[in-house]
Amino acid sequence: HKRIALLYFFTTLAFFGAGGVEALLIRTQLAQPNGKVLSPDEFNQLMTMHGVTMIFFFIIPMTTGAFGNYLVPLMLGARDMAFPRLNALSYWLFLGSGLFLYTSVFLGKAPNCGWFCYTPLNTRTFDPGLNVDFYALGLIFNSMSTTAGALNFIVTVFKLRAPGMSLNRMPLFIFAILAVSLSLIFALPSLTTDLVFVELQRKLGFHFFDVAHGGDPLLWQHLFWLFGHPEVYIIILPAMGIATSIIPTFAKRKMIAFPLVALAELLVAFIGFGVWAHHMFATGLATTTLVFFAAASMMVVIPSAIQIFAWLFTVNLGRPDFRAPLLFIGGFIALFVIGGLSGIMFAAIPFDQATTDTYFVVAHFHFIIFGAAVFPLLGGLYYWFPKVTGRMYHERWAQASFWVTFVGTVVTFFPMHIVGLLGMTRRVYTYEPHLGWDAYNLSETIGAYILTAGLLMIVANLLWSRFRGVPSGPDPFYGGTLEWATTSPPPPYNFAVIPRVSSPYPNWDREDREEDVRRFERGMLVLETGHETPASTVRDGFLDEVLDMPSEYRRARARGVARKGARRGMSSVPYAQRVARPNGWWGIAVFVATEATLFGTLIGSYFDLRFKAHHWPPPGVPDPKIAVPLILTAVLVATSVPMLLSVRFARRGLAGPTCAALLVALVVQCGYLAMQIHLYVDDLHHFSPAATAYGSIYFTLVGAHHAHVVVGILLNAWLLLRFATGGSRYRLVGLEATAFYWYFVDVLAVIVTLTQIYPSL
């Protein structure tokens, strides 16, 4: 997990550099009226790439992929993430999506429709080139990467905590990562649906957003902001988690109101899903709708304010040591409050409508996205740099870099409030003189170069310290969480003995750390016979079992001593009698939640188009059949019985009956799929998905369901081949997970079929 984290770190750092160069070119173009640095098309491409890069290829992967991957197992007392291979896959998908997107820059076909790429600007009528296709396909693969990472984090947090780390003893950083991961699981499917819709419309002539054929242009905005506004909190929550790690360390006391802060982090993520139309106040939505979303926009202030007051009280009641990491957190709080106050102003509907698409919005957005999200990242770089490298950074140079970066940030983004109120709209590539914008734009450009200088000072400090810094030792700051209980840098196995936890700040519990030494000497929970990590129960963190994890490195031997009885003290309860669900089951459960959300957006889109249509289906399209789809669905649902029986047989160790039950289920499922494909082709002969919005959403929804049936059939076929050679504990986990997936597919089949035949009911 640490190597993957470093891969994420350096890759996102490269993308950050690219996004920074794009920002400097934009600011240089706007430094004076009638700028000639960029052409209009070049400006549109750079502006779009800057937004997409900073959000999708820097902030989110840096906070989750780099910081999360490195720190979460260490803070939990684990030796790896729950699914190491999935972790690696998520990185390579991320890298591939980024390289694919930046290929468009060198081809002169970079996305040029803005980072939210509104329709109709994203349709072939207005953008016939490949620009939007690079945008859509690149972000689809990026979403797959991020979803895989979020799934991994959720299962890791639920299942791989050290013994004794119940949910109420998790570090606040872990609560933040958990909130972010849950948000990603439920937010990304709407973006993926949106991107698939636009690609189908561009390449196959579908009509999701085409009014002339029954489509709805606002459907793009609804789906995009169903992801887009939770995404703001996805960006800010890891920053809050970093703040809650740094503040107690340098305030030299535990966080004030710890349970409230943990709850507030989860509430920020939850409330964020009810605020998406906050971005659509100028689209003509009903006033009653706007009032609801305005109220929701104000509600999110409550959990944010809880955290701000907790941070300030913790510093005030402690003995703060204002070293560089804490300075960056102080800057974060100041910028977050400024950005939050301007955000509350947007909850006032008339003000929002008056300032929509002006630089006032750009100012608010950057105070939150850069000031509030990036400053804790910079503080976190300094804070955990000794842990990752084993060397200290240069403190005075670090403090100087903070002040330069802070001044550059304020000088760059604060004047945007004023120029926005003066009427300057976003996305303009130049402007005429004598509008009163000249001085403000020049100061913003100067601020951007000051900000760049501050960031380069940070890079120079860390590079110099990596090779010339003094050795840091394992715990130079006397931090409270478990990553400071091991060496710097940590060994491949993280901990010589799995630590005991009895509070949210386990490194400050000296008795527990002394007990770890005694357990190491007795050989308890050393786990030196392979790449092993303990699994725990979800709620209370009780020890459940030892997992053999896939690994490339040779067996870790703590202090070079091979100890016998590594599993001494472990639970000896047979797997079939355990109450706690295994990692594989939790993984498929989170995946099912993602797929349920995906189909929720598809079905929601179906009814959005239906309620805005005068006739459904439109004239000339036959009403859907009722009897045959219902009969086929009943047949598919019946396969739950052999799937259930196969699990029961496998738990008893009966490989033959398990294979027989799986074979029965597989044959029936294949028959169902064959009949459904026949009906699908028959429908294509009667009406086309490229003729009306009804046909577009009908064939997309039904086709997506068929694709999920294919996935289930492939899983069953793979399990049948595996069980043909005998059963095992891991094959049983795979069977339980696949059976759970099929139960979901069966329920989904009922919902999709009822939606499909709805016009005929």
Mean pLDDT of 735-753: 95
Show the DSSP H helices in 503-639 as ranges: 510-522, 583-611, 627-638
* Distance (Å, whole) CA 148 – CA 136: 19
Residues contacting 552, CB < 8 A, separation 6+: none
Q: What is the pLDDT of residue 551?
A: 59
Q: What is the pLDDT of residue 728?
A: 72
Q: What is the pLDDT of residue 318?
A: 94
Q: Are 115 and 30 in contact (CB under 8 A)?
A: no
Mean pLDDT of 375-391: 96
pLDDT tens digits for range 312-338: 999 999 999 999 999 999 999 999 999
Q: What burial letters (b/e) apply to 544-578, b meaning 16+ CB within 10 Å?
A: bbbbebebeeeebebeeeebeebbebbbeeeeeee
Show the DSSP H helices in 422-551 as ranges: 438-468, 510-522
Name the pLDDT band for 291 (thresholds 50, 70, 90). very high
Name the pLDDT band for 723 (thresholds 50, 70, 90). confident
pLDDT tens digits for range 11-62: 999 999 999 999 999 999 999 999 999 999 999 999 999 999 999 999 999 9
Q: What is the pLDDT of residue 549?
A: 74
Q: Where are the domains of the chain?
A: 2-468, 488-568, 603-760
Mapped onto helix, strand or coil, the DSSP state of residue 364 is helix
Mean pLDDT of all residues in the chain? 92
Residue 472 has pLDDT above 50, yes or no: yes
Architecture of domain 2-468: Up-down Bundle (1.20)
Name the pLDDT band for 698 (thresholds 50, 70, 90). very high
More confident residue, 299 or 557: 299
Nearest to 440 by CA among 25, 30, 36: 30
* Distance (Å, whole) CA 277 – CA 352: 12
Q: What is the pLDDT of residue 556?
A: 38
Q: Are 480 and 455 in contact (CB under 8 A)?
A: no
Residue 568 has pLDDT above 80, yes or no: no
* Distance (Å, whole) CA 91 – CA 66: 10
Q: Are 195 and 219 in contact (CB under 8 A)?
A: no
Q: What is the pLDDT of residue 697?
A: 97
Q: Domain 603-760: what homologous superfamily?
A: Cytochrome c oxidase, subunit III, four-helix bundle (1.20.120.80)
Mean pLDDT of 397-420: 97
Q: What is the pLDDT of residue 271?
A: 92
Residues contacting 332, CB < 8 A, separation 6+: 239, 243, 371, 372, 375, 376, 379
pLDDT tens digits for range 193-228: 999 999 999 999 999 999 999 999 999 999 999 999
pLDDT tens digits for range 611-633: 999 999 999 999 999 999 999 99
* Distance (Å, whole) CA 256 – CA 313: 7
748 residue type, one letter: L
Percent of the chain surpassing pLDDT 70: 96
Residue 97 has pLDDT above 50, yes or no: yes
Residue 557 has pLDDT above 70, yes or no: no
Nearest to 52 by CA among 91, 88, 105, 108: 105
pLDDT tens digits for range 334-364: 999 999 999 889 989 999 999 999 999 999 9
pLDDT tens digits for range 108-148: 999 999 999 999 999 999 999 999 999 999 999 999 999 99
* Distance (Å, whole) CA 146 – CA 185: 9
Q: Are 83 and 587 in contact (CB under 8 A)?
A: yes
Residue 286 has pLDDT above 80, yes or no: yes
pLDDT tens digits for range 228-259: 999 999 999 999 999 999 999 999 999 999 99
Nearest to 176 by CA among 258, 246, 262, 260: 262
Nearest to 304 by CA among 333, 274, 273, 342: 333
Residues contacting 661, CB < 8 A, separation 6+: 642, 643, 645, 646, 649
Q: What is the pLDDT of residue 326?
A: 97
Percent of the chain surpassing pLDDT 90: 84
Residue 73 has pLDDT above 80, yes or no: yes
